[in-house]
Structure 1
Amino acid sequence: MPRPTKAEVAACQGQTMPDIIAPNLDVLFCGINPSLYSVAIGHHFGRPGNRFWKALHKAGFTPRLYDPSEDASLIELGYGITNMAPRATARADELSTAEIKAGRDLLAGKIRTYRPKCLAFLGITAYRTAFGTPKAKVGPQPDWENTPIWALPNPSGLNAHYQVDDLAEVYSWVITAVESHSS
């Protein structure tokens, strides 16, 4: 997949990404919002420094390391991807608190419509803002819309608090919870 030019990436400011979603998924991953780079290439978590795909594989969600261009194939494994705020930005901190809180309402509609078995929210700070829980910690949260919810670290390369192995360990908690809930 050819890399987009800086101009092509910049032109994606404010655009949106389609969800990868279907009814009754095992896990719906919810990013904060799409990056400009992801919109430019048309695939979620597409920026080269993003660790989502590596962490997903190391955690055991995928049988091999997937490329961002294979994002739609997650559906076959029972997983999907959406975003809290639909507007693409260079950095998630460009979103306003109001946008994040409005995104919660959009997300609630998706949860009610598609009924995933679990929602994995990727970004603890945005989760705290959206849900009004400033002391929330990484891990399971109270059910929301009758759905178990997990607040997980953001896989962005800008999140220096977690390396790929750390992300994978925390993400694997979701697999364990979903498997134990299913049996």
Structure 2
Amino acid sequence: MKSRNYGRCNSASLRKCRKPVQRRSSTAGATPCSACAPRATPPFVAEPVLPDLLRPGLRLVFCGTAASRASAAARAYYAHPGNAFWRALAQTGLTPRRFAPREYPQLLDYGIGLTDLGKHAAGTDAELPADAFDTEGLRARILHHAPAWLAFTSKHGAQSFRGQAVGYGIQPWRIGASRVFVLPSPSGQARRSWDLSLWQTLADLIKECS
């Protein structure tokens, strides 16, 4: 008796019926996550990202490396929520209360000024162009305004200006008549090196100048 075919495909017909299955790669067309994608180097801008807060005869001028992206967006110094700068000023008595970043012009009322080593680019130190820091520009501003003290708000900024390793605290060198102090960075990315006591030491020195 012949076997009957009840609609089953034989081996030849199976080969005709089957269609190749295209497997999609798990990475095909995938968009890299923001944490993995490289960030573009911040461009130089013609105008300073933040204006200097300077005038002759100040007791103290703080100098950062460059404005952060948050500060550039807010048009205010040390504007990132994780930055301890404004809290440190209040805790050490350099200001009578904790100012909001947008209130930074009021620091002049307390004999305090602000500037940055890099004025024409914004971002973290790792993101900045290699030639972002204008050391001679900073030197000229300090010589012109002659504050009693210049305080770098990070060791990286001081070392970039000096061209050699420096320690925290009072420095053995000056810029003109201005004495120099190096502080631990208030940035949230530098929490491991944060030390409020050095900020208090500086505040005590500034109060002696009053």
- TM-score band (shorter)? 0.7 to 0.9
- Per-residue deviation, 1:40: 1.0
- Per-residue deviation, 1:126: 2.4
Corresponding residue for 2:148? 117
Distance 1:35 1:125, change over 3 A: same
- 1:91-110 map, 5 Å: 91-100=124-133, 103-110=134-141
The C-alpha deviation readout for 1:97-152, integer Å capped at 9, x for no partner, is 5433xx21111111121111100111102211220222x11101122222100011
Give yes or no for the alignment of 1:176 onto 2:209. no
Corresponding residue for 1:138? 168
Distance 1:18 1:47, change over 3 A: same
Give, in whole Å, the separation in 1 of the partners of 2:115 and 2:148: 15
Unaligned runs of 5+ in 2: 1-39
Give yes or no for the alignment of 1:37 onto 2:70. yes
Residue 141 of structure 2 aligns with an amino acid whose one-letter code is: K
- Per-residue deviation, 1:49: 1.0
Greater C-alpha radius of gyration = 2
- Paired residues of 1:36 and 1:88 also in contact (CA < 8 A): no
Residue 152 of structure 1 aligns with an amino acid whose one-letter code is: L
Distance 1:105 1:111, change over 3 A: same
Give, in whole Å, the separation in 2 of the partners of 1:178 and 1:97: 33
Give, in whole Å, the separation in 2 of the partners of 1:76 and 1:46: 20
Give, in whole Å, the separation in 2 of the partners of 1:13 and 1:66: 30
Runs of 4+ in 1 over 6 A off after TM superposition: none
Residue 120 of structure 2 aligns with an amino acid whose one-letter code is: R
Corresponding residue for 1:74? 107
Unaligned runs of 5+ in 1: 1-9
Number of aligned positions between the proteins: 166
- Paired residues of 2:64 and 2:157 also in contact (CA < 8 A): no
Select the structure with the greater relative contact order (CA < 8 A; seq sep ≥ 6): 1
Distance 1:176 1:109, change over 3 A: same
Corresponding residue for 2:16? none
- Paired residues of 1:27 and 1:79 also in contact (CA < 8 A): yes
SS of residue in 2 equivalent to 1:125 = helix
- Greater helix share, structure number: 1
Of residues 104, 110, 121, the one that matches 1:88 is: 121
Give, in whole Å, the separation in 2 of the partners of 1:150 and 1:18: 22
- Per-residue deviation, 1:60: 1.2
- Paired residues of 1:33 and 1:89 also in contact (CA < 8 A): yes
The C-alpha deviation readout for 1:141-170, integer Å capped at 9, x for no partner, is 12222210001111111102244xx23x21
